[in-house]
Amino acid sequence: MSGLLTDPSTGSGQAKTVLVTGGTRGIGRAITQALRRDGATVVVHARSDADVTGDLSVPGGAEHVWAKAVAIHGRIDVLINNAGAWIASPVDDAAAWDDGWTANLALNLLAPATLCRLAIEHFQRHGGGVIVNLASRSSHRGDDAEHLAYGAAKGGLLALTKGIARGFARDRILAYAVAPGWVATDLAGPEVAAQAATLPMGQVTPPEDVAEVVAFLASGRSPHTTGATIDITGADYVR
């Protein structure tokens, strides 16, 4: 077996083991397919019908998912934090505001942060590893008025990624973020398709574009890119 997601340090070209959260639908499914094409052994997480099942939004959920994933192959080489949700936090409803902030922080920041912590400890024992966090265009510019908490959580994920890259590079731990804009998936609502006419390329980003970038970063073939955020917006948002 050979490819981007095999370990060149082993004579047999042993496949890297990659944990993908939220890996059965949308962007996660495209990522899983790209990783497998490139030679990886993929452990797929989802709430149901996956290699590892578990709810990342509840206390202890991330620890449960990580332990089950490691138990399958004994080692994880790459963590892809893809699972997340665009959860509203309307300003004009105090209860919904509080619930939205709690839910966004739990799923979109705390769960991936906990998985990062567990991955760092694991990678330190195994000579290094790679983390790729799925952030958002909202990480940079904020989100709309109904989703302020989502933008804040994704912004925190971006800061976390940079800190990991800076703090653990000497342990051969690489950390990257990917920040998509509008992405055309089967999970997207009609408002996403309606954006196509407003975008510079005239189309919403296909999930495969995101998957190709994630697969390359997961390979570790550009280690000095660690700490970087790759924007995937079809020039809709540029920095």
Provide the pLDDT for residue 196: 86
Report pLDDT for 12.
54
Q: Is residue 128 part of a domain?
A: yes
The one-letter code for the residue type at 58 is V
Q: Is the pLDDT of residue 166 over 50?
A: yes
Q: How do residues 227-239 score in pLDDT, each as one tens digit? A: 999 999 999 999 9
What pLDDT, on the 0 to 100 scale, is given for residue 8? 54
Span 186-212, average pLDDT:
85
pLDDT at 9 over 90: no
Torsional class of 35: left (φ above 0), alpha (ψ -120 to 50), beta (otherwise): alpha
pLDDT at 187: 63
Q: How confident is the model at residue 224 (pLDDT cuts 50, 70, 90)?
A: very high
How many domains does the chain divide into? 1
Provide mean pLDDT across the span 170-181: 97
Residue 5 lies in a domain: no
Closest CA to 237 of 142, 122, 109, 117: 142
Digit-coded pLDDT (tens) for 73-127: 999 999 999 999 999 999 999 999 999 999 999 999 999 999 999 999 999 999 9
CA atoms of 128 and 123, how far apart (whole Å):
5
What is the rounded average pLDDT of the residues 38-64? 97
Measure Cα distances from 20 to 50, 107, 140, 157 in Å.
11, 15, 24, 16
Please list the helix, strand and coil fractions of the chain in percent, rounded to the nearest 5, in that order. Answer: 45, 15, 40
In this structure, are strands 173-180 and 17-20 parallel, antiparallel, or unpaired?
unpaired
85 and 107 Cβ atoms separated by less than 8 Å: yes
Q: Report if residue 7 sits inside a domain.
A: no
Q: 225 lies in which domain range?
A: 17-232
Residue 1 scores a pLDDT above 50: no
What pLDDT, on a 0 to 100 scale, did the predictor assign at position 160? Answer: 98
Establish if 208 belongs to a structural domain.
yes
Query: Residue 238: inside a domain, yes or no?
Result: no
Residue 185's pLDDT band (cuts 50, 70, 90): confident
Asked if residue 239 is part of any domain, the answer here is no
**For residue 61, is it within any domain?**
yes
Does 2 fall in a domain?
Answer: no
Computed over every residue of the chain, the mean pLDDT equals: 93
Catalytic center residues: 150
User: CATH number of the domain that 193 lies in?
Assistant: 3.40.50.720
